Amino acid sequence: MNMPAVGLPGKYQKAVIPAMQRQFGYRNAMAVPRVRKVVLNAGVGRIRDEKQQEAVRRALALITGQKPAPRPAKKAIAAFKTRRGLVVGYQVTLRGRRMWDFLERLVSIALPRQRDFRGIDPKAFDPRGNLTIGFKEHIVFPEMIGEDVPFIFGLEVSVVTTARRREEGIGLLRLLGFPIRDEKTERRT
């Protein structure tokens, strides 16, 4: 499936690949890390009301343009009042065109709309260069503007890359336009 070179895919082809080759010394453009997929997770373990779970499913479908998959509990935990097979969350995996469209909305609209947002903490990257961000409110996404929101829930967004090291993942997403804080200038608290 050929994608036209516009938006983030075009930026990746025209600007990110050459910059990553200069920065990390890749000899071949195919060796440059890329975004493999984006995974959204929303937990509904505490929500027992079926109408509220349906609202979570609808909101995730609106945000991603794809039907969320239910995630059942793998084992029973009495303290959490869960039984094996009980739906405790919903997950959506985005690839291709939907992934790039979602990333554009994430970078340009959702992240800046977060309350007290000062950039993505570099500690949010794992050793393999994958980024995981938590959102306390799902209403920061542009698809929720004008929607009747019965309640607010949190979700997690994981951007999975083919990077082999943390620095490569940070460099890739920074070049794609993610507002990542600088580790050196970050003040200690």
Run means of pLDDT, 10 residues per run, the chain, 189 residues: 68 90 90 93 77 84 90 74 75 93 89 83 91 85 73 88 92 90 63
Q: How many Å separate Cα 126 from the centre of its chain?
A: 14
Q: What's the pLDDT score for residue 184?
A: 67
Q: What's the pLDDT score for residue 80?
A: 67
**Beta pairing class for 87-94 and 131-135:** unpaired
**102 phi, psi to nearest 5 deg:** -65, -45
Distances (CA, A) of 66 to 17, 95, 127, 163: 29, 11, 29, 26
Query: Which tens digits make up the pLDDT trace of 52-68?
Result: 788 888 888 988 989 99
Distances (CA, A) of 91 to 41, 53, 122, 125: 5, 13, 24, 20
Q: What's the pLDDT score for residue 189?
A: 47
- The beta strand positions in 11-76, using DSSP E, are 35-43, 69-72
185, with CB counted inside 10 A (0-12, 13-18, 19+), is: exposed
Q: What's the pLDDT score for residue 139?
A: 77
Q: What's the pLDDT score for residue 49?
A: 75
Q: What's the pLDDT score for residue 146?
A: 66
Query: Which tens digits make up the pLDDT trace of 28-48?
Result: 889 999 999 999 998 876 777
Q: What's the pLDDT score for residue 118?
A: 84
Q: What's the pLDDT score for residue 185?
A: 55
Alpha-carbon gap, residue 16 to 48, rounded angstroms:
45
Write down the pTM of the prediction: 0.83
